[in-house]
Amino acid sequence: MNLLKKILHRVMSFQDLPTEASQDLPTGITRKLIADKYLSGNGIEIGALHNPLPVSKNTAVRYVDRMPVSDLKTHYPELARYNLVDIDIVDDGESLHTVKNDTQDFVIANHFIEHCKNPIAAIISMFRVLKSGGIIYLAIPDKRYNFDKIRENTSFDHLAIDHRQGPSVSKKKHFEEWTLSWNQITDPEKAKKRVEYLMGIDYSIHYHVWTSDTFLDFLFCLKKEFLSDFQVLLFLQNEDECITILKKGY
């Protein structure tokens, strides 16, 4: 219980911005305690791969990904040595076309939203499939703690344009940023070939990047302009990531 109290005293509201990465609890323990507090019933996790969120025994999770496991291991050779979760639903995690409205007690999107071409549409889809009072467990990497740190924060204006007009216009630029930051390719010709290859296989890059405070700004604007009917129950800097708990309705 003492560990849980350590987490709960750091719950943030929209008026409070997290500043320093927490150092007193290991990342995995924090995730598990938050999941135990907020998740129960039946739900889905999108893009869990080899690192599903630990949940309590009274919680049933079905796993969603855009490919079956065999194809995922081919597409991501860097994951070949890992045990991936069995995929229950093969679907586009951004649209969740095969998941019916108002059917899920929770949706877990752990380090998924940064891979979305249209994060606004993705979160709208997550709320669509939730029952009233349902929970989204949403975690993002804070760009300050990985190779994305050299990239500019994604502005809400950019995301709103992608949502209204479609993300294809900005897609190539994101791959160019990824090639520079994560692949660290600076030679123009090599970078061009790498971008063409990654786009050709539709590799799942970090399309968008945030720090904890800019992601909080994103939630502010999302609530104001596109999706008013949700609450932020928790907003927490957890070492190199930011965890947010959202609740559908009031």
The string of pLDDT tens digits covering residues 118-158 is: 999 999 999 999 999 999 999 999 999 999 999 999 999 99
CA pair distance 19, 15, nearest whole angstrom = 13
* Strand pairing category for 130-141 and 241-248: antiparallel
Confidence tier at 25 by pLDDT (50, 70, 90): low
Environment class of 57 (CB within 10 Å of its CB; exposed 0-12, middle 13-18, buried 19+):
exposed
Distance CA 90, CA 84 (A): 14
Question: If residue 180 lies in a helix (H) or strand (E), which one and from where to where?
Answer: helix 168-181
Average pLDDT over residues 106-125: 97
pLDDT above 60 for 212: yes
Distance (Å, rounded) from C-alpha 33 to C-alpha 97?
31
Question: Residue 231: what are its φ and ψ, rounded to 5°?
Answer: -115, 150
Task: Round to whole Å and give the CA distance between 171 and 102.
Answer: 31
> Is the pLDDT score of 96 beyond 50?
yes
Other CB atoms within a 10 A radius of the CB of residue 145 amount to: 13
Task: Return the percentage of the chain with pLDDT > 70, whole number.
Answer: 89
Q: What is the pLDDT of residue 73?
A: 92
Q: What are phi and psi of 67, to 5 degrees?
A: -140, 155
Query: Structural domains in the chain?
Result: 2-143+209-248 (3.40.50.150), 147-200 (no CATH)
Beta-bridge partner residues of 49: none
Please give the pLDDT value at position 250. 67
When pLDDT is cut at 50, 70 and 90, the band that residue 26 belongs to is low
Q: Which of 34, 52, 54, 39 is closest to 88 using CA atoms?
A: 52
Q: Over the chain, what is the mean pLDDT?
A: 89
Which pLDDT value is given to residue 232? 94
